Amino acid sequence: MPKRFRLTRRFPVAMTEDGYRRLRRFASDSGLDEGEALSFLFEHFDSVINEDTFEHRLRLFNSELEARKR
């Protein structure tokens, strides 16, 4: 029997405009709302990311983060 999908946690999230636009586009393309799309991405994180580029992109994001906050 399939596991029931329950949204059990709510938390405030700060996102960049680019990140939010991409989340909304992904949610729309997949027929999910934003919360369901985030749940999907994090439940399947290991199979969704590209392990070859993940660390590099994370380092780039972190290096640009302070400048993007201004």
Question: For the residues 23-37, what does the mean pLDDT come to?
Answer: 95
Report the distance separating Cα 66 and Cα 70, nearest Å.
7
Q: What is the mean pLDDT of residues 43-61?
A: 94
What pTM was computed for the model? 0.76
Reported as a single tens digit per residue, the pLDDT across 6-25 is: 777 788 888 889 999 999 99
Q: Is the pLDDT of residue 1 over 60?
A: no
pLDDT at 3 over 80: no
| Domain residue limits, the chain | 18-69
